[in-house]
Amino acid sequence: MTTLRSFLTPDKPDAPAPHLDRVTPLAAMPGGEIDVHGAHLEPRGTFVPRATIGDISAPLLLSRPTRATVRVPEGTITGDLILHRSGQASNPLNVRIAVPMAENLHPVANPAVDTDGNVYATVSGARGQAVPVSIFQIQRDFQVRPFVRDVMNVTGIAFGPDGYLYASSRAEGTVYRISPDGAVSTYAEGMGIATGIAFDGDGNLYVGDRSGTIFKISRGNTDGTSGEIFVYATLEPSIAAYHLAFNDAGTLFVTGPTTSSNQVIHAIDRDGNATVFYQGLGRAQGIAFDVDDNLYVAASLHGQRGIIRIDRHHQATLVVSGSNVVGLAFLEDGNAALATRDALYHVALDIEGRRLI
């Protein structure tokens, strides 16, 4: 019979050390949580396991025989996770941690990436708020420089086939065309509360209006002006912003966060017909595709916030754990840029993103 005395007895010398098999999800941001799967991970007597990632102590939120949950502290970088207990140490497992690229931003949608690998992110500001710099460029060595000034409430940004950056302003209902040296011109007006934008394979631009309209702007003219503008599809209004992305087949996928915790991702065909691709997310925002047609979305799944992957069979999996994520963009060499409400992070995922330009 187990007694309180035996329960409080420390490990025997031959008690097995914790053993780690794998971690989920694939990566985490500072403040995110990772699950460690293995054996002998539970407390022994009065000895509760503790975790380290590299040389940083990480809070242990749960400890059971085959699973432990660890929170990633601020300042952590990619390194070996080890569980320690009463003088014993587990085998190391490498965990991937996102690191800051730029701070003091205000992205509300995906960042954008040019052909040289530079990343662009916004300082969107509150509605009607003028900010000193509207868009920053983050270079490959993480150097940050102002790129665009004097555009109010920049919301969606995307590169067009002409190599120019396009940006929507939800305050003005305008889409701007921005040259490689940062010169701004008006591309299209009358877009309502213009939010997310995306180009299709033919160079047409699609713009989400928060009141529920998706506009299509035919490929622009050689003088930099827009083509014909018409309503492409109509969805329910969003409380924040529409987020748009195309897959290789030319289907437009759209999220629009509402107050529901059971949100949908819409798929809109070439004729503007909308169907439900997936339902069951919380506050779904920025989206992107990889080369295998898997969809990635900044959202909550079963109470876990981060980047969710939805495969072609509509199976959803958390791949990056983290709070306040609003968007993402795939970079070269399998890396990704993750946008939160006030910063941009870099993480290695070994995922090749679908080319956008």
Q: What is the pLDDT of residues 250-286, one digit of tens each?
A: 999 999 887 777 899 999 999 999 999 999 999 999 9
Please indicate, yes or no, whether residues 230 and 302 belong to a single structural domain of this protein. Answer: yes
Q: Would you say residue 240 has pLDDT above 80?
A: no
Query: Is the preceding omega at residue 107 within 30 degrees of 0, hence cis?
Result: no
Give the per-residue pLDDT at 4: 44
* Long-range CB pairs of 137-145, under 8 A, 24+ apart, other chains included: 138/101, 138/102, 138/337, 138/344, 140/116, 142/101, 142/102, 142/346, 144/102
Q: Would you say residue 215 has pLDDT above 80?
A: yes
353 within domain boundaries: no
Which of these three, 50, 75, 97, is where a domain ends? 97
356 within domain boundaries: no
Please indicate, yes or no, whether residues 89 and 123 belong to a single structural domain of this protein. Answer: no
Q: Would you say residue 186 has pLDDT above 90?
A: yes
Please indicate, yes or no, whether residues 91 and 207 belong to a single structural domain of this protein. Answer: no
Please indicate, yes or no, whether residues 140 and 69 belong to a single structural domain of this protein. Answer: no
Please indicate, yes or no, whether residues 149 and 257 belong to a single structural domain of this protein. Answer: yes
Let me know if 15 is exposed, middle or buried by CB neighbors in 10 A (0-12, 13-18, 19+).
middle
Let me know if 87 is exposed, middle or buried by CB neighbors in 10 A (0-12, 13-18, 19+).
exposed
User: Which residues are 175's β-sheet partners?
Assistant: 168, 188
Please indicate, yes or no, whether residues 137 and 80 belong to a single structural domain of this protein. Answer: no
Task: Give 292-336 pLDDT, tens digit per residue.
Answer: 999 999 999 999 999 999 999 999 999 999 999 999 999 999 999
Please indicate, yes or no, whether residues 32 and 119 belong to a single structural domain of this protein. Answer: no
CATH code: domain of residue 47: 2.60.40.10
Which of these three, 97, 119, 143, is where a domain ends? 97
50 within domain boundaries: yes
Please indicate, yes or no, whether residues 41 and 153 belong to a single structural domain of this protein. Answer: no
Domain of residue 60 covers 4-9+19-97
Which of these three, 97, 118, 138, is where a domain ends? 97
Mean pLDDT of the chain: 93
